[in-house]
Structure 1
Amino acid sequence: MPTEREVQHPDGRVERITETTAAPTTVVERRGSGMGAIVALIIGLLAVLVIGYFLMNMNNNEAVESNAIAGAAESVGNAADNIGEAARDAVPERAPAPAN
């Protein structure tokens, strides 16, 4: 008939020991305090935060690039308007031709 007992250690570990009288076999189950799961959870949360930061930063860079392109296009349009005005000012106005 197997005999079972549990040993609790000061650090929170629990050992479950099963002994049988027929054979000198001892089975030991060890269960931790769960600190490994907490550490893994914290590391996972930090990884999500870092990835989120980089994704948001990438999105901001795309917005800055789009604004720069729009500003350059507006500058080209303004330059074309200025050239058109200068061309109109350079050509003297002609008097209307007399009607025959």
Structure 2
Amino acid sequence: MAEETVTTERPADAAPGNTTIIRETRSTGSGTGIIMALVLLVAIVGGIYLFSQNSETAKDNAIAEAAGDIGNAASKVGDAAQDAVNTEK
């Protein structure tokens, strides 16, 4: 919205009630507020996107690590079974 300022001045040497000067000034917005709001919106959306990507990467890494641990455990069980079979002979 445009701000409006109304100033009423009465010259010192004017007779009372005869002369009134009214000056109206309007400040036109340069759009700085809108630009700042857009920059802030882009920064927020970008931050949300980056945080969601980091979350997905962390989740994928955790799943890969768990799968590796399961593979190692299965290998140990297989080795133990092989040792058990070899001791019976």
Q: Same fold (TM over 0.5)?
A: yes
Larger Rg belongs to: 1
- Deviation of residue 31 (structure 1)? 2.9
- Deviant stretches of 4+, over 2 Å: 14-17, 24-31
More strand by share: 1
Q: Does 2:64 match 1:64?
A: no
Q: Structure 2 length as normaliser, TM-score?
A: 0.69
Across the aligned residues of Structure 1 and Structure 2, the Cα RMSD in angstroms comes to: 2.6
The total of aligned residue pairs comes to: 75
Unaligned runs of 5+ in 1: 1-13, 18-23, 93-100
More helix by share: 2
Q: Structure 1 length as normaliser, TM-score?
A: 0.62
Residue 83 of structure 1 corresponds to 80
SS at match of 2:30: coil
Sequence identity percentage:
21
Distance (Å, rounded) in 2 between the aligned partners of 1:84 and 1:30 = 86
Within 5 A, what are the aligned runs for 1:19-98? 29-92=26-89
RCO comparison, higher one (Cα < 8 Å, 6+): 2
